[in-house]
């Protein structure tokens, strides 16, 4: 989509779960828009809620000064605010509030939107693009499950936190001769578990893409004991599940566009190992993976993505997502990014490398 008039002001939101690097992206979009094009930037609060309910704050170079190293998002976010299925005032029912969103855009004379989010947020962004809203998206999710980009904002920080946690658990596992089970996030993709497990020297890595056999996991622990390795580290993605078994669901959040809340597989695996005779403890990292200071990489990639998003809008393009492929910052059709999740290939180089150094995937 190409616009026929000059851009004067744009809107910006952060939607979905928070992650380190969002503030760096907000800063980059704001400063590039102002410094390069003299646009006005409207920051809408709490994701799509701000656009539906017309809650916003002006973003200036001064307002975004000093936020690059801060976690979270200065604009707030929401993973329950899909404008196509909107929960208004804590109602249990959803309704379409796209009309309100479009009125907000018209009221402020917005010439485009930069939407920072994961697959849920960007799926809604793709729908808005089809309705004629000029949209450019920036991918952020600790799960790294958006297609078309090698990495998303937040993934590197979450990976670093998970790896550091595994490092710390090594010492107590060795001291007590136990199996330490570490449950990490990732939803239906095993990227955090795979890479933190490799980097942290995990002995077993369980991911959604490779259903595991509990007997094979126990056999790995037994082999280590036979070689006088009296402790083991098992890294489990929250979406992992046994062969012919289901993912463990913690609860259902009916107000969310993605109502299934995974959680509990770590305890499940630990219980299986205890039953097999191996003393085990479980640590669930949970939202620790979303918090804290973003890594240098996430600050860097967020800045690159933010500037590219502004350049893309300025060129008259819409319905695009900024991405990095083979070190190059590019854009791809937004619909391509949300068509299907980016998941670990069971036969890919990373899995084969892990197996080559002796890591088990429970198969």
Cα distance between residue 36 and residue 235, in whole Å: 45
The closest of 348, 96, 361 to 202, measured between CA atoms, is 361
What are the structural domain ranges in the chain? 9-153+294-338, 157-291
Confidence of residue 257 (pLDDT cuts 50, 70, 90): low
First-to-last CA distance in the chain? 48
- Which residues are catalytically annotated? 143
Answer whether CATH 3.30.70.890 is correct for domain 9-153+294-338: no
Total count of residues recorded for the chain: 363
pLDDT in tens, 298-320: 999 999 999 999 999 999 999 99
Check if 9-153+294-338 and 157-291 are the same fold.
Answer: yes
For residue 3, pLDDT beyond 90: no
Q: What is the mean pLDDT of the chain?
A: 94
Taking the whole predicted model, whether its pTM rises above 0.85 is answered as yes
Cα distance between residue 302 and residue 313, in whole Å: 17
Q: Is 136 exposed, middle or buried (0-12, 13-18, 19+ CB in 10 A)?
A: buried
Instruction: Provide the CB-side half-sphere exposure for 59 (13 A, CA).
Output: 31
Q: What is the CATH number of domain 157-291?
A: 3.40.50.460
């Amino acid at each position: 989509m190409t616009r026929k008039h000059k851009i004067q002001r744009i809107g910006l939101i952060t939607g979905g779960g928070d992650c380190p690097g969002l503030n760096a992206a907000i800063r980059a979009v704001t400063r590039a828009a102002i410094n390069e094009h003299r646009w006005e930037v409207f920051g809408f609060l709490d994701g799509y809620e701000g656009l539906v309910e017309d809650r916003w704050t002006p973003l200036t170079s001064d307002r975004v000064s000093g936020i690059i190293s801060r976690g979270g998002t200065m604009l707030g976010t929401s993973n329950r605010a899909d404008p196509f299925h909107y929960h208004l005032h804590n109602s249990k029912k959803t309704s379409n509030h796209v009309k309100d969103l479009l009125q907000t855009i018209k009221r402020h004379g917005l010439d485009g939107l930069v939407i920072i989010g994961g697959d849920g947020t960007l799926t809604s962004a793709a729908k808005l693009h089809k309705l004629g809203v000029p949209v450019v998206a920036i991918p952020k999710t600790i799960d790294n499950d958006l297609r078309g980009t090698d990495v998303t904002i937040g993934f590197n920080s979450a990976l670093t936190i998970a790896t550091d946690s595994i490092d710390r658990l090594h010492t107590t596992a060795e001291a007590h001769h136990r199996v330490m089970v570490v449950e990490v996030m990732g939803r239906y993709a095993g990227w955090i578990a795979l890479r933190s497990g490799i980097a942290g020297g995990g002995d077993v890595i369980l991911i959604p893409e490779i259903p595991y056999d509990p007997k094979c996991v126990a056999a790995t622990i037994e082999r280590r004991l036979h070689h006088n390795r009296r402790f083991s580290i098992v890294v489990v993605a929250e979406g992992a599940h046994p062969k012919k078994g289901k993912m463990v669901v913690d609860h259902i959040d009916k107000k969310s566009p993605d109502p299934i809340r995974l959680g509990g597989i770590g305890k499940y695996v630990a219980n299986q190992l205890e039953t097999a005779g191996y003393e085990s403890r479980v640590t669930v990292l949970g939202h620790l993976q979303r918090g804290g200071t973003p890594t240098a990489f996430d600050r860097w990639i967020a800045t690159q993505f933010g500037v590219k998003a502004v350049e893309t809008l300025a060129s008259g393009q819409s319905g695009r997502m900024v991405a990095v492929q083979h070190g190059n910052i590019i854009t791809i059709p937004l619909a391509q990014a949300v068509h299907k999740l980016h998941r670990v290939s069971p036969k890919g180089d990373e899995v084969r490398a892990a197996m080559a150094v002796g890591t088990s995937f429970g198969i």
